[in-house]
A and B are shown apart, each in its own frame.
Chain A
Amino acid sequence: DAKTTQPPSMDCAEGRAANLPCNHSTISGNEYVYWYRQIHSQGPQYIIHGLKNNETNEMASLIITEDRKSSTLILPHATLRDTAVYYCIAQWEGNFNKFYFGSGTKLNVKP
């Protein structure tokens, strides 16, 4: 599985969009990009995933660059409850769903 690199922390003002970057320059063509978040030592929560195309759901949008070497998770209107550690994971469907977590980005949403 490709290694992912994320900034250790980011700040965002409440109500503004939070844009969380992830670098996965060694990603292979059949590896998906998954995003999870973990709020204060709770179990991680699934947010979104994608392969090539941009994806959007009720929680967030995922923008994957054309060369697939990086992606950005967008929380369109961040709230204080979005304060969490966000993990970007590159995962190959063929390895039977095993996830290898990196260190993640601590997003601090401030009033």
Chain B
Amino acid sequence: SAVISQKPSRDICQRGTSLTIQCQVDSQVTMMFWYRQQPGQSLTLIATANQGSEATYESGFVIDKFPISRPNLTFSTLTVSNMSPEDSSIYLCSVALRVGNEQFFGPGTRLTVL
């Protein structure tokens, strides 16, 4: 398994600002992902964070709005840019140790945009 931490755990932000969420894993992992969970909804995959290259985004998500970095095999960041109240969600990081393995999820970052 893997132990995943996220910072911050929660934040309240003003519209028009940006927030960067960090995801740290206690071991090197092959795959890292970012999900969004809007209030009362299921999880939606935002993108796959690729080490050393640009992230792969799912339909409906773009790099300008959700830039992602992954400088090494244990760390990734997701930035929510130019926030609006519709961005209020829980943002979750997940990892897979190897392709084909199960994913492990972080505790999430609860974002409220006013």
Contacts and interface: CB of A to CB of B under 8 A. Distances in A.
Which of A46, A96, A97 has the most chain B CB atoms closer than 10 A to its own CB? A97
B99 A44 contact: no
Nearest to A92: B100
A97 B90 contact: no
A34 B108 contact: no
Contact of A103 (B42, B103, B110): B42
Interface residues of B, number: 24
Interface residues of A, number: 19
B45 A46 contact: no
Contact of A43 (B101, B102, B105): B105
Contacts of A81: none
Contacts of A93: 99-100
A65 interface: no
Interface string A39-79: 00111111001000000000000000000000000000000
Given A41-B108, A42-B108, A96-B31, A101 B103 contact: no
A97 B48 CA distance: 9
Nearest to B98: A97
Contacts of B99: 93, 96-97
Interface string B80-114: 00000000001010101001111111111010000
Given A98-B48, A99-B103, A43 B33 contact: no
A45 B96 contact: no
A98 B107 contact: no
A102 interface: yes
Contacts of B14: none
B43 interface: yes
B90 A41 contact: yes
B44 interface: yes
A19 B110 CA distance: 31
B86 to A, nearest CB: 18
B33 A98 contact: yes
Interface of B: 4, 31, 33, 37, 42-45, 48, 90, 92, 94, 96, 99-108, 110
